[in-house]
Chain A
Amino acid sequence: MKKFAGRYNIICFLAIAMLSLVLFFGNSRNILAAYEGGAVSNGGTITGTVKIAGDAPEAKTLKVDKDQATCGHDDIPSEALIVSGDSAIKNAVVSITKISKGKKFEGGTTTIDQKGCVFIPHVSMVPPGSTIELLNSDDIMHNLHSWSMKNTAFNEGVTGHGKLPKTFEFPETIKITCDVHKWMTSWLIVQENPYYAITGADGKFKLEGVPAGTYTVQAWQESLGKTTQEVTVSAGGEAKADFELEEKSKKKRKRKRK
């Protein structure tokens, strides 16, 4: 019995030590101080749709030229830009860019899977400081390569049916690829605050529990970039904000046929 108590003490001590360490480092680098979550009474809502300006581009496909036994023989539809009939954009991320106080930050993606040589989900979101499990449900090796700038970048091979837990400290939009299968791309948004939404196929979004005030709201999509607008939310009210993203005109330089 005594033995158990001793161990319990140690665990308690360790936990407190860890917590204070985290707090210490966190505070020293001003991350935890960035957003303060709490109860929001009578919060407002921001809703709207994200659409593409002009004609919807043709849907693209990705060629599977490797490991076809697992990845399949057919081309895979590209998720880089999914536009529905009425120009609505899927997988756009709408968020409030700067807000220091608001509702509690909960949830976020817990796993990103690689299945059939596709990342699922294609776009995901976590709060800063969270740990996410990167899975490989296939029977072949995938590598997970994060092209991050603020968070420590990694590139590790993950065995078939293996997993790789990773922690993300700083808010950032991170592209994650598998370099073995070049068509595999995923986006992880380490989001500063809980006011974000990933649009569905209908391009619609809803940000809830927003304290009354005026905010800069941003819509971002991996192929179209971002745009922002000012939105004013009243207590308990609903503000509307529709976004139109434009396809960037690309530099003209073609690749020589080989």
Chain B
Amino acid sequence: MKKEEEKSYVGLYIILSFILAVTNVWALWNEIVGKRPWKEYQARYYDLEYDNAKKKYDDAVLAFEQQDEQDLYKAVEQKLDKAKNEFEKPKIQLKYKKILDELRALDKNELAPLTFESIVTRNKMMEAEYQYGKHKYLHGTRNREESKRNILELDDKSKKLAEKIKLVEEKRVELQSGLDRFKGAITKYTKELESHSSNMLNYKETMVKLESRRPQLQVYQVHLEELNEVDRCMSCHVGIDKKESVSEEQPYALHPRKDVYLDNHPPERFGCALCHEGQARATTSPKKAHGEVEYWLEPMHKGKVAQSSCVKCHDRGEELVGGEEIWKAIKLVEELGCYGCHPIEGFDKDKNSMIGPDLVEISSKVNPAWLVSWLQGPKSFRSSTRMPDFKLNEDDAIAITSYLWQNSEGFEPGELEEFDEETVEEGAFIFESIGCLACHSDVEEDGKIHGPNLARIGEKMNYEYLVSWLLEPKNHQPRTKMPDLRLDEEDAKYVAAFLTSLKSGYLEVLSSEEFLTDEKTAGRGKDLVNRYGCFGCHKIQGMEEKTKIGVELSEIGSKHIHLFDFGLLEKELLHGVGLESSHENIGEARRAWLRAKLTDPRQFDEGRYKRPEDKLRMPDFNLTKDEIETLLVLLTGMREGDLPESYIAKLEGEKRSLVEGKRVIDKFNCMGCHQFSIDTLHLKDGVVAKGMVKLEDEENLYFQLWEDNEGLGRKAGETMQIANEDIKSMSRSEGGDIGEFIIDYHVEVEGRVAEEAKVFTPPVLYGEGKKVQGPWLFDFLEEPVALRPWLDVRMPTFKMTEDEATVLARYFAALEKEEYPYEYIAETKEKYLEEKEKEKPGYLTMAEHLFKSKNVNCASCHVRGDITPEGEPADWAPDLSKARDRLKPDWIVNWLLDPQLIQPGTKMPKFFREGVFQDIFPGTPDEQAVALKDLLMNLPDEMLKQQADESESEEEE
């Protein structure tokens, strides 16, 4: 054993030092490189950016070096040389110099002294004004008079000077343009030459800049102060909000639809994780940053799923650009009525609506055999129904039918009636012409789903109930959307007869109807109704107070993954989305469960023992894969936690009016009858044209402009031929779907041309806000009256709430940026007419003469209160006594000036052209139209009553 002081630790020391050194190096490397993958991404991005610029430059050089281009360039160069030589010629130079000298002389000898003098004068004036103010307080009037005179003199002088300067400057401009003319060719060719090489030079500049001034590699961090969040995503995704894309690959790519997403949500205020979630502060690995690590509660939302975040800030009622997926999902939830069973915050707000029909009169409404069959599979009777499949067997269906029968009130349906062909035909005629086709269809599924498909309705409904229902739907179903068409009893019977005739031989007759009154069967039915929660969507006698049976979904997107019962399917479902355990990616795992639930709601029971009452109950909605993915976006977005107030995009003002209005329009399917917008054509040369396509053939379309178009150099009303190849895209008008049926009828049966038949379609509501007065519209919506005697199709009485009518009236006003509800109408005030009479004595009488003149003769077609025109009522035009309260004065004037511009095809002709009716009402067409408008806003009583109208009766005799 060596003595301590003789021992050598050098070896150990060296080893330890070595380890320390290695550790240090490793630590350093790890800190600088290993934990900073973003450095590599950033460097690569800048390389890509440079490559991109270089490629563009190379392309430009290549293009420039093309023979054609070179020839062009050389030719211009030669022209430039020639122009320069021309300019250098002594003769030209002499002339040029002469003008130049003149110009300089003008500047020096005339303009400069004048300008100087003008400045001096202005200064003097300022001084004088100052003196005047001083005198006012200090000295007597004499001084003030004097200085006032002084000011006036100076003012006069400066005006004269200004005039002189103007003259000199005009002269100068003339000389200058003379000079320019000499150099014109040179300037022109120089510019042209530049235009050939400018692309190349610009790219070169960009390229050089990128190379020499490459940014330092650094962490890009956004601090969201209000949320106390740090967002470092852009350290790797450097190019996400750049102007130009340099790569499609992540993390170098540009944000898709950047103009929508990033321009509206600048990253410096919103960061990335506000929409995309993930672990935005992490910088050590992409997986960590994306939150795709165990137990991270909010893994990143990729692709469409990011739209789930829209509803964090945006109102669910608003259709968002860029939020297409979540909007579809919201509509789908409303359509399916998910909130019938599942409480969901923000849905089920409209108390004036229902998901499924009330069943309190079911026994008088339907055929019991139909109900038994329906309950066993609603979609096999009507594939478009929203009623889901509860997978009931026949016993269950019979039990439920029995319970519902014994808990409903009604009348004994009479014997099944058969109707003769003529009655059915008459019913079909009314059905087709009055407007039913806007919502319903009498042929098998044709995509129309606003109202139930009626192709087999005869197998379902009782005739008596139908008659009574048609007469007053709300009497039977107070919350139905079905409006009252104001049918008289005779018409209702015809329509009901037609509907009862719509059968397909689908039903089997029941072997016995005893179960309908059997109490025991009904008891079993009651248990089933309770179990499946039928009362969530339907009103059932005695079950009005029951609560929804489904799980609340308001925060399903935050629900803990442990609470989802995967049953025996966990492995299978997780593997399906590439996960080993649900913790790896909680978001994906949650969506995998929801996807499975929506695909086959009861599959989690598979292979497990469960007591019958514990088994899953959710019905099958028969959703497509796309629909399910869409719903998942919304479900992912239904999360706990609120953002600060300042982030919330409140729905206010005009936008709110439009959103709320659109909701009511959809609810009552206004667009089933009315056209709300017009076609928009985007042409390849950038011109945008608004109007309607009138005709399309192989090469062209014929487009009628509804607005003046500067780009096309055409006026509103004109029809023009546009070649299909010039059209980039077109967005079609919305609404008016029933029109084609009506046109078809008038063409086929009456032999009219299609354009003419359009007159019989419901009025177009494009621009309605400019046309009618708000209060009138409100009243009309509450209680419609027939305005257009020639229409068979009828505006129904929707019995909408006052709130709904207000929302609609406000919508039309907001669309046209009109005032609502208060708008001052001057025309009806006494003072207005007094002034008109003062300007033009006998004003209103002259207007009346115009109105009655045989060449205008409004009364020839228009009803006026009591007075009706000759001919058949179907040929009359609207009642003019209603104009005062209904129409906006400005609209009347525009209408009178050219009706075809407002409503192409209208039977109302244009009357007022330059120079006509001067003997009756001298003035321009505009003045004549204004006068008629003033008369219409103030129609005297005697013009609305038959006996007082002498001139007309005279003419008749």
Contacts and interface: CB of A to CB of B under 8 A. Distances in A.
Do A and B belong to a common assembly? yes
Interface of A: 29, 65-67, 69, 80, 139-141, 143-145, 147-157, 159-160, 162, 170, 175, 177, 179-180, 182, 223, 250-256
A67 B900 CA distance: 25
B492 to A, nearest CB: 13
A157 B695 contact: no
B467 to A, nearest CB: 17
A154 B425 CA distance: 38
A30 to B, nearest CB: 8
Contacts of B751: 80, 223, 250
B749 A251 contact: yes
Given A66-B871, A155-B907, A179-B907, A150 B702 contact: yes
B588 interface: no
Interface stretch (B325-333, B426-434, B640-648, B796-804): B426-434
Contact of B870 (A65, A151, A254, A256): A65
B855 A153 contact: no
Contact of B857 (A141, A250, A253, A255): A141
A250 B718 contact: no
Nearest to B870: A66
Contacts of B344: none
A166 to B, nearest CB: 13
29 contacts: A65-B870, A65-B871, A80-B751, A140-B855, A141-B860, A149-B702, A149-B755, A150-B694, A150-B695, A150-B719, A152-B718, A153-B704, A153-B719, A155-B899, A155-B900, A155-B909, A155-B910, A156-B910, A156-B911, A157-B855, A157-B856, A159-B855, A160-B854, A179-B861, A179-B907, A182-B875, A250-B751, A252-B425, A256-B429
A175 B855 contact: no
Contacts of B899: 155
A140 B861 CA distance: 13
4 closest A-B pairs by beta carbon, nearest first, are A143-B909, A159-B855, A179-B907, A157-B909
Contact of B854 (A29, A139, A147, A254): A139
A66 B955 CA distance: 12
B748 A251 contact: yes
Contact of A250 (B426, B749, B869, B910): B749
Contacts of B430: 256
A254 B425 contact: yes
Interface in B900-940: 900, 904-911, 913, 916
Nearest to B955: A69
A226 to B, nearest CB: 14
Contacts of B756: 147, 175, 177
Contacts of B855: 140-141, 157, 159-160, 162
Contacts of B425: 252-254
A149 B432 CA distance: 27
The A interface, classified by DSSP as helix, strand, loop or mixed, is loop
Interface of B: 425-426, 428-430, 432, 694-695, 702, 704, 717-719, 721, 745, 748-749, 751, 753, 755-756, 854-857, 860-861, 869-872, 875, 899-900, 904-911, 913, 916, 955-956
A156 B898 CA distance: 9
Given A65-B871, A69-B955, A159 B916 contact: yes
Given A141-B854, A156-B909, A250-B748, A147 B719 contact: no
Q: Of B428, B856, B900, B904, which is in contact with the most chain A CB atoms at under 10 Å from its CB? A: B900
Contacts of B900: 153-155
Contact of A67 (B704, B719, B856, B870): B870
Contacts of B857: 140-141
A69 B908 CA distance: 23
A141 to B, nearest CB: 5
Given A157-B910, A254-B425, A148 B755 contact: yes
Contacts of A154: 900, 910
Contacts of B872: 65
A25 B62 CA distance: 39
Given A159-B916, A254-B425, A151 B748 contact: no
A252 B428 CA distance: 11
A154 B908 CA distance: 11
B909 A152 contact: no
B753 A155 contact: no
Nearest to B744: A251
Contact of B721 (A150, A177, A250): A150
B533 to A, nearest CB: 45
A150 B694 CA distance: 7
A151 B719 CA distance: 6
A144 B911 CA distance: 11
B610 to A, nearest CB: 58
A151 B702 CA distance: 8
A179 B909 CA distance: 9
B908 A155 contact: yes
B754 to A, nearest CB: 8
A29 B909 contact: no
Contacts of A80: 751
Given A66-B870, A252-B425, A153 B955 contact: no
Contacts of A177: 756
Contacts of B695: 149-150
A180 B861 contact: yes
A253 B755 contact: no
Q: Of A162, A177, A253, which is in contact with the most chain B CB atoms at under 10 Å from its CB? A: A253
B496 to A, nearest CB: 15
Nearest to B705: A152
Nearest to B430: A256
A155 B906 contact: yes
A254 B423 CA distance: 11
A120 to B, nearest CB: 20
Q: Of B717, B856, B907, B910, which is in contact with the most chain A CB atoms at under 10 Å from its CB? A: B907
Contacts of B429: 253-256
A254 B430 CA distance: 10
B854 A182 contact: no
B299 to A, nearest CB: 58
Nearest to A177: B756
A254 to B, nearest CB: 7
A183 B911 CA distance: 21
B426 A145 contact: no
B491 to A, nearest CB: 8
A180 B860 contact: yes
A250 B904 CA distance: 28
A179 B745 CA distance: 20
A153 B907 CA distance: 12
A55 B432 CA distance: 32
Contacts of A252: 425
A149 B907 CA distance: 16
A18 to B, nearest CB: 16
Contacts of B860: 66-67, 141, 180
Contacts of A29: 721
A154 B911 CA distance: 12
A29 B722 CA distance: 8
B541 to A, nearest CB: 40
Given A69-B955, A147-B755, A255-B429, A152 B907 contact: no
Nearest to B906: A155
Given A141-B860, A155-B899, A251 B745 contact: yes
A79 to B, nearest CB: 13
A250 B872 CA distance: 24
A152 B717 contact: yes
Nearest to A142: B909
Given A156-B911, A162-B855, A223-B751, 15 more contacts: A69-B955, A141-B854, A141-B855, A141-B860, A147-B755, A149-B695, A153-B900, A154-B900, A155-B910, A157-B855, A179-B907, A252-B425, A254-B429, A255-B429, A256-B429
B719 A175 contact: no
A175 to B, nearest CB: 5
B870 A152 contact: no
Given A180-B861, A251-B749, A254-B425, A145 B721 contact: no
Contacts of A179: 861, 907, 909
